[in-house]
């Protein structure tokens, strides 16, 4: 476990759980789908004594914040807190800080769940650029330059790439870039120009 403090999300596991859970909601997963998937995807963590603590506490907190806390996750988190399963992982100096964090989480989880937060759906981006497409733009329109020529984008192919949200499946072009002083008259003039690094 990578940990940099006693805070609930000051460790790799809880921070990852928060990001992945929210991303599942952003791509349109239902509350139940998001929960079941994150549990299934982290079955190894859940079986580890220490890692499961960070998993369940982080998941309970983020689900509460978004108004989606399930009874199952709430019960797991409260059981961890009640059984002091987390405390032995901390040295004496840090233990009191961590106890305060856990007490605050316990109070939060036992309070009424806030209204469900609306999640803005992140739409899949699909590039209109296709394999072998060629696009031109004046250098001055793209960047601050004194050059009068054009940048040429040569599309090699497109790829499915999670550029913004994991598992969203954006379709992005892979392009090569060239520079020409004048608009080419034919494809041969473009081919003869070297690619820019």
- How much is the pLDDT for 144? 84
- What mean pLDDT value characterizes the chain? 88
Residue 67: which residues within 8 A CB-CB, separation 6 or more? 113, 114, 115, 116, 117
User: Which residues of the chain are modeled with pLDDT < 70?
Assistant: 1, 162-166, 197
Cα–Cα dist 57/70, whole Å: 13
**What are the C-alpha distances in Å from 56 to residues 23, 40, 122, 160?**
17, 13, 26, 32
- How much is the pLDDT for 165? 66
- How much is the pLDDT for 39? 96
CB atoms within 10 A of CB 147: 12
Strand partners, 180: 150
- How much is the pLDDT for 53? 93
Q: What is the largest CA-CA distance in the chain?
A: 76
pTM of full prediction above 0.85: no
Cα–Cα dist 125/127, whole Å: 6
Cα–Cα dist 84/81, whole Å: 5
């Amino acid at each position: 476990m990578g940990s940099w403090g006693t805070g609930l999300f000051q460790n790799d596991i809880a921070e990852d759980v928060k990001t992945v859970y929210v991303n599942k909601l952003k791509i349109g997963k239902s509350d139940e789908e998001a929960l079941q998937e994150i549990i299934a995807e982290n079955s190894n963590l859940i079986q580890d004594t220490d890692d499961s603590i960070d998993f369940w506490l982080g998941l309970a907190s983020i689900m509460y914040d978004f108004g989606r806390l399930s009874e199952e996750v709430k019960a797991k988190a409260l059981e961890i807190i009640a059984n002091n399963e987390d405390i032995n992982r901390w040295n004496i100096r840090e233990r009191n800080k961590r106890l305060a964090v856990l007490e605050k989480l316990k109070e939060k989880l036992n309070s009424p769940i806030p209204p469900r937060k609306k999640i803005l759906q992140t739409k899949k981006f699909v590039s209109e650029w296709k394999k072998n497409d060629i696009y031109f733009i004046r250098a001055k329109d793209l960047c601050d330059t004194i050059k009068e020529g054009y940048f040429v984008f040569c599309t090699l192919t497109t790829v499915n790439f999670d550029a913004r949200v994991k598992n969203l499946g954006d379709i992005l072009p892979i392009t090569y870039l060239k520079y020409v002083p004048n608009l080419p008259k034919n494809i041969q003039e473009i081919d003869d120009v070297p690619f820019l690094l």
